[in-house]
Amino acid sequence: MNPKMNLKKATGEQTQIGGRPDGNNHNPVLATLLSLIPGLGQLYNRRWIKGIIFLILGLSLIIALTFPLIHGIEGLFTLGSDPETEDSRGLLVQGLLSLIVGIMFFGLYFLNLKDAHKDATKRQQGVRTPSMRQAFHDSWEHGFPYFVVVPNFIMMALIVIFPLLFMVSLAFTNYNLYNSPPAHLLDWVGFANFKALFTESVWSKSLLAVVAWTVVWTLVATTLQISLAFFLAVLVNDSRVKFKRIIRTVLILPWAVPSFMTVLVFTAMFNDTFGAINRDIFSHFGLSIPWLSDPTWARIAIIMIQIWLGFPYVFTLITGVLQSISKDWYEAADVDGGTRWKKFRYITMPHVLYATAPLLIMQYSYNFNNFNIIYLFNKGGPPVSGQNSGATDILISWVYSLTFKENNYKMAAAVSIIMGIVVAAFALYQFRRTRSFREEGMY
């Protein structure tokens, strides 16, 4: 550093620094460079405690983690070489975790550089180094949101993000029943599984059928359940209706009973041979409908059950919104001679839809992923010839049976990636809507 330059600067800004001689020859770039070894830059900034903590923490992390991280990521590439001693799945788990930890590690490292730079700049401008008490207070004051968010985010990364990454990785391996650890090693196979999914007739037929039914199921079941709920909520909300409490209580009942039980009860009721629906209702008309064994009837039954199960939640939601609409609107409409349909169309509808749109959209995504009802009702069946998916299988239940029944992990993973793409596209769409929806105040 050029001493003359420093002198000149120092004399020039003497008054501003107010008797802190080392003030402005303090160099943020130097601090940042020193912090390449965590803590040194902070020491240079005369933040002693912080510097020592960073130094100890940084060095011990580097010493403890560098080798395992490199080893882990290496394992991710090779997936093991000796089936006797190595388990590819374990290597994959370790590799992905190393990757996540590594990224977090670099994030911290970067923050350390930034911190050194920030403190040095402050010092250069003559801001006093805060006392230790002040520093602790500040870090609680400014750091509070981070203390809360960061640990939870790490847990989320482990329990939600990591498993998704793992699933994505499996789609590019050859992991299935016949080639499974610990007896065999896994290999990366590139896009071979996707190629099979789209070109081999069994797979492409199944995929097409499942995707088509998933779309129909999501749209039809959810739309019907929302419409029914809306209709009933408006009816019951009519001021002339008596016994509102009792009516609402009964209408909420299907939501209050655990769904896995009601679905199983329905499975028994729809049973082709002994089911109550055929025996008690349709037998009067001389009919016996193959609810569980015919694809079309099974689909109709499952949609009806979902409407039964799903409408109470939306009903509750809409009832809440209806009660919050101010009466003035309707009175104003009465004065202007608005018909009932017009009041519904121009007051009720916009209010309810505006208020509940995000939650209603979530209903669609809920049904898209509604594994429980599909699996419990008929395990995705009845089976269809020439396909390895059942007639009522939606993507998620197909993934489940591929994974846990057939142990065909690679194909299950490939299918779930396709599912993930659909979900992500949908989510992006929703984000854009939500953002334009409520720009102000929300985020």
Residues in region 81-140 near other proteins by CB under 8 A: 89-90, 93
With binding defined as CB under 8 A, does residue 350 bind other proteins?
no
Q: Which is nearer to other proteins, 259 or 392 (CB)?
A: 259
By CB under 8 A, what part of segment 142-161 binds other proteins?
Answer: 144-146, 148-149, 152-153, 155-156, 158-161
CB 63 within 8 Å of CB 103: no
Q: Which is nearer to other proteins, 23 or 275 (CB)?
A: 275
Return the C-alpha torsion angle 340, 344, 345, 346, nearest 10: 100
Q: What is the CA radius of gyration of the chain?
A: 32
Q: Which is nearer to other proteins, 12 or 358 (CB)?
A: 358
Give the integer Cα–Cα distance in Å for 165 and 171. Answer: 10
Q: Among 21, 131, 274, 328, which residue sits at the site for other proteins (rule: CB under 8 A)?
A: 274
With binding defined as CB under 8 A, does residue 166 bind other proteins?
yes
Give the integer Cα–Cα distance in Å for 27 and 7. Answer: 14
Q: How many CB atoms lie within 10 A of CB 300?
A: 14
With binding defined as CB under 8 A, does residue 28 bind other proteins?
no
Give the integer Cα–Cα distance in Å for 408 and 416. Answer: 12
Smallest distance, other proteins to C-beta of residue 7, A: 38
With binding defined as CB under 8 A, does residue 78 bind other proteins?
no
Smallest distance, other proteins to C-beta of residue 159, A: 4
Whole-Å CA distances, 248 to 227, 264, 320, 438: 17, 25, 12, 31
Smallest distance, other proteins to C-beta of residue 150, A: 9
Q: Which is nearer to other proteins, 7 or 424 (CB)?
A: 424
Smallest distance, other proteins to C-beta of residue 45, A: 21
Contacts of 71 (CB under 8 A, 6+ apart): 98
With binding defined as CB under 8 A, does residue 27 bind other proteins?
no
With binding defined as CB under 8 A, does residue 431 bind other proteins?
yes
Q: Among 95, 254, 380, 390, which residue sits at the site for other proteins (rule: CB under 8 A)?
A: 254
Q: Which residues of 36-74 are buried (b: 16+ CB within 10 A; e: fewer)?
A: eebbbbbbbbebeebbeebbeebeeeeeeeeeebeebee
